[in-house]
C-alpha cells in the first residue's frame, strides 16, 4: 500500500464527521484508535456470514467461526514474532492479560520476601495487579525510579534488582509521558538477574515493530483496540513453557481436558486461559486490523507519527506558557505529547480543544502515582496515529491559541 495519508484517511469513516461544527481532529489514539472500513466490514461480515459458537462445533458455521479465530491467532503470532500460535492467549484487554500473569504465575511462584520490580511510569493496569499479588503472597513490590524528564535508564534499573527479584514488569512506552524505554536492554538485565519479564506493550505494539523472539521477553500484553482492532479483546503472549506451567484464573467450559464430579484436568495453552465463550466476532475482525497495519508497514507508521510529534513539539516547546512533560530528546519519545498550559486545569484545556473539534485526553491517564511524583494533577495529552495528518497538528496549534485566548493566558490582570 505504501504510505499515502489521503488514502489512509479515506479508509476511516469516522474522520468524515464533524464535532461541534468543525471537522473531527482525533488526537486520542493512545486511549483507543479509530477503525478502518476493512475492520468494520470484517466485523459485520462475521455476524452476517459466519456467526456461531466455537469449540467442538461440527456444523459448517462453527467450523468457519473457529477457523477465523485461529487465523487471527496465527496472524497475531506472526505480527509480534512469536514462535507459534499457541503462545497467544486472547483475553479481554491489556489489563486482563496482566492480571492473568500476576495471578496465574504469581500465586504459584511468589513467596514471602520475593520481589516484583516495576517502574514509576506504570499505568495502573501494570501496577495494581502487582500490588494485589505481592500483598497476597507476602512478596515485596519495588519500583525503578525515573529521571526528571520521565526517562528510565538501564543503570537505574540495574540498581533496583536484588537476588530476590522474581519478575520485572515494565511498560515499553509510557501512555502518559510518551517515553520509549530501552526494552531489549531491560529484558537482558532482568534475565541476567534471574528474573522473568512482562512487557506492557499497550502503547508499543500499535506503533512500533515488535519481535518477542528477538527480545526474549517472557510475557507481553497489549490491546487490539489501540491498533485499529475491536474493543473487548486483549492479547497475552507468553513463552509456551511458562504458560504451560501456569494455572488458569478463570475456569469453566472451553478450558478443560476432562471433568469428573470430583476433579478436572485442564487443556494446554492457550485454551486453558480462555474459559467460556470467547469474544469470537472481535477476534475474527482483529485479523483485518493486522492485515491493514502490515500493508501500510510499521516502519512507515512510526516514521509518520514521529514527523507529527516533531511538529507538535515545535509548536509547544517555544511557548513560554506551555510546559511539555516527558523526554527532552525526541529519540526517547513515541507519538504522545503531554503538556500543561500555564496553571490551567487540564479539563478546562480539553474542553476548549473540544469546542474546536480537537479531541485530546486530559487527566491523570491512569498514572496517579506518577502524576503525584511529578507534582501535578494531570496533563492534556495529544497522541498520534497513522491516520493523523500535518493539518491535524495545525488544527491542534489553532486549538492551543484558542485555549490561551479564552483563558487570557499571558494577559496581565488589571487591578482597579
Ligand atoms: N498499559 C498502558 C501503557 C496503556 O496505555 C493502557 C491503556 N490506556 C493499558 C495498559 C490498559 O489497556 P486496556 O484498557 O486496554 O486494558
> Up-side HSE of residue 394: CA atoms within 13 Å toward CB?
4
Which cell numbers hold the place of 298? 510499521
How far is Cα of residue 14 from the mean position of the Cα atoms in its chain? Answer: 21
Confidence (pLDDT) at 1: 54
> Domain ranges in the chain?
5-31+297-406, 40-294
Partnered with residue 199 across adjacent β-strands are: 170, 220
The single residue of 358, 366, 382, 386 carrying the catalytic annotation is 366
Measured distance CA(256)–CA(274) in Å, rounded? 10
pLDDT tier at 150, thresholds 50, 70, 90: very high
Q: How far is the CA of 254 from the centre of ligand 1 (A)?
A: 27
**Nearest CA among 82, 8, 71, 79 for reference residue 42:** 71
Across 11-148, where does the E strand assignment appear?
Answer: 18-19, 22-23, 25-26, 88-91, 115-119, 140-144
Partnered with residue 359 across adjacent β-strands are: 26
Report the alpha-carbon angle 233-237-239, nearest 5.
160
Atom of ligand 1 nearest to the CA of 234: 15
CATH number of 5-31+297-406: 3.90.1150.10
Q: How far is the CA of 412 from the centre of ligand 1 (A)?
A: 41
Measured distance CA(351)–CA(403) in Å, rounded? 9
Q: How far is the CA of 77 from the centre of ligand 1 (A)?
A: 20
Question: Any catalytic annotation for residue 366?
Answer: yes
Probe residue for ligand 1, chosen from 100, 125, 171 as the CB with the greatest number of ligand atoms within 8 Å:
125
Instruction: Determine if ligand 1 sits within 6 Å of the CB of residue 122.
Output: no
Measured distance CA(72)–CA(31) in Å, rounded? 23
Provide the whole-model pTM: 0.97
- 217-235, pLDDT tens digit by residue? 999 999 999 999 999 999 9
- 3-state SS, one letter per residue, for 364-378: CCCCHHHHHHHCCCC
Instruction: Determine if ligand 1 sits within 6 Å of the CB of residue 134.
Output: no
- 288-345, pLDDT tens digit by residue? 999 999 999 999 999 999 999 999 999 999 999 999 999 999 999 999 999 999 999 9
Packed helices 128-137 and 94-104: angle between N→C axes, nearest 10 degrees = 10
Coil, helix or strand for 205? coil
pLDDT tier at 2, thresholds 50, 70, 90: low
**Nearest CA among 239, 286, 215 for reference residue 101:** 239
Probe residue for ligand 1, chosen from 28, 223, 229 as the CB with the greatest number of ligand atoms within 8 Å:
223
How far is Cα of residue 104 from the mean position of the Cα atoms in its chain? Answer: 21
Could you tell me if 267 and 258 are in contact, meaning their C-beta atoms sit under 8 angstroms apart? no
Q: How far is the CA of 32 from the centre of ligand 1 (A)?
A: 9
Q: Do domains 5-31+297-406 and 40-294 have the same CATH topology?
A: no
Measured distance CA(163)–CA(154) in Å, rounded? 17
Measured distance CA(239)–CA(197) in Å, rounded? 11
Confidence (pLDDT) at 68: 98
- 348-378, pLDDT tens digit by residue? 999 999 999 999 999 999 999 999 999 999 9
Measured distance CA(36)–CA(272) in Å, rounded? 32
Measured distance CA(168)–CA(194) in Å, rounded? 10
Instruction: Determine if ligand 1 sits within 6 Å of the CB of residue 93.
Output: yes
Could you tell me if 201 and 223 are in contact, meaning their C-beta atoms sit under 8 angstroms apart? no
CATH number of 40-294: 3.40.640.10
- 40-93, pLDDT tens digit by residue? 999 999 999 999 999 877 899 999 999 999 999 999 999 999 999 999 999 999
> Residue 296: CB partners within 8 Å, gap ≥ 6?
1, 2, 3, 8, 386
Q: How far is the CA of 318 from the centre of ligand 1 (A)?
A: 31
Q: Whose CA is nearest to atom 2 of ligand 1?
A: 202
Average of per-residue pLDDT values in the chain: 97
Amino acid at each position: 500500500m505504501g504510505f499515502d495519508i489521503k488514502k489512509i484517511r479515506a479508509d476511516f469513516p469516522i474522520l468524515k464527521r464533524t464535532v461541534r461544527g468543525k471537522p473531527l481532529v482525533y488526537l486520542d489514539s493512545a486511549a483507543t484508535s479509530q477503525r478502518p472500513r476493512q475492520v468494520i466490514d470484517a466485523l459485520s461480515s462475521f455476524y452476517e456470514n459466519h456467526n456461531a459458537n466455537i469449540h467442538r462445533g461440527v456444523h459448517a458455521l462453527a467450523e468457519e467461526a473457529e477457523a477465523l479465530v485461529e487465523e487471527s491467532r496465527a496472524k497475531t503470532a506472526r505480527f509480534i514474532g512469536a514462535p507459534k500460535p499457541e503462545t497467544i492467549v486472547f483475553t479481554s484487554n491489556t489489563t486482563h492479560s496482566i492480571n492473568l500473569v500476576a495471578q496465574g504465575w504469581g500465586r504459584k511462584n511468589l513467596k514471602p520476601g520475593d520481589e516484583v520490580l516495576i517502574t514509576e511510569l506504570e499505568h495502573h493496569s501494570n501496577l495494581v495487579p502487582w500490588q494485589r499479588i505481592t500483598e497476597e503472597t507476602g512478596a515485596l513490590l519495588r519500583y525503578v525510579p525515573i529521571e526528571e524528564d520521565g526517562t528510565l535508564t538501564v543503570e537505574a534499573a540495574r540498581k533496583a534488582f536484588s537476588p530476590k527479584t522474581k519478575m520485572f514488569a515494565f511498560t515499553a512506552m509510557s501512555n502518559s509521558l510518551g517515553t520509549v524505554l530501552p526494552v531489549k536492554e531491560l529484558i537482558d538485565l532482568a534475565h541476567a538477574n534471574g528474573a522473568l519479564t512482562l512487557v506492557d506493550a499497550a502503547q508499543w505494539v500499535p506503533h512500533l515493530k515488535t519481535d518477542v523472539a528477538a527480545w526474549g521477553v517472557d510475557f507481553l500484553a497489549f490491546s487490539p483496540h489501540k491498533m485499529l482492532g475491536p474493543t473487548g479483546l486483549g492479547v497475552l503472549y507468553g513463552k509456551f513453557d511458562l504458560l504451560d506451567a501456569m494455572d488458569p484464573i478463570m475456569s469453566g467450559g472451553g478450558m478443560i481436558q476432562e471433568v469428573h464430579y470430583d476433579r478436572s484436568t485442564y487443556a494446554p495453552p492457550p485454551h486453558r486461559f480462555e474459559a467460556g465463550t470467547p469474544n469470537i466476532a472481535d477476534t475474527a475482525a482483529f485479523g483485518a486490523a493486522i492485515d491493514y497495519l502490515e500493508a501500510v508497514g510499521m516502519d512507515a507508521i512510526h516514521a509518520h507519527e514521529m514527523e507529527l510529534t516533531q511538529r507538535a513539539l515545535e509548536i509547544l516547546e517555544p511557548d513560554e506558557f506551555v510546559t511539555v512533560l516527558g523526554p527532552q530528546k525526541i529519540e526517547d519519545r513515541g507519538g504522545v505529547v503531554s503538556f500543561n498550559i500555564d496553571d490551567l486545569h487540564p479539563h478546562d484545556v480539553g474542553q476548549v480543544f473540544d469546542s474546536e473539534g480537537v479531541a485530546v485526553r486530559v487527566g491523570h491517564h491512569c498514572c496517579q502515582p506518577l502524576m503525584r511524583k511529578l507534582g501535578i494533577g494531570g496533563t492534556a495529552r495529544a497522541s498520534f496515529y497513522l491516520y493523523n495528518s500535518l493539518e491535524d497538528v495545525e488544527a491542534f496549534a489553532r486549538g492551543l491559541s484558542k485555549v490561551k485566548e479564552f483563558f487570557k493566558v499571558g494577559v496581565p490582570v488589571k487591578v482597579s
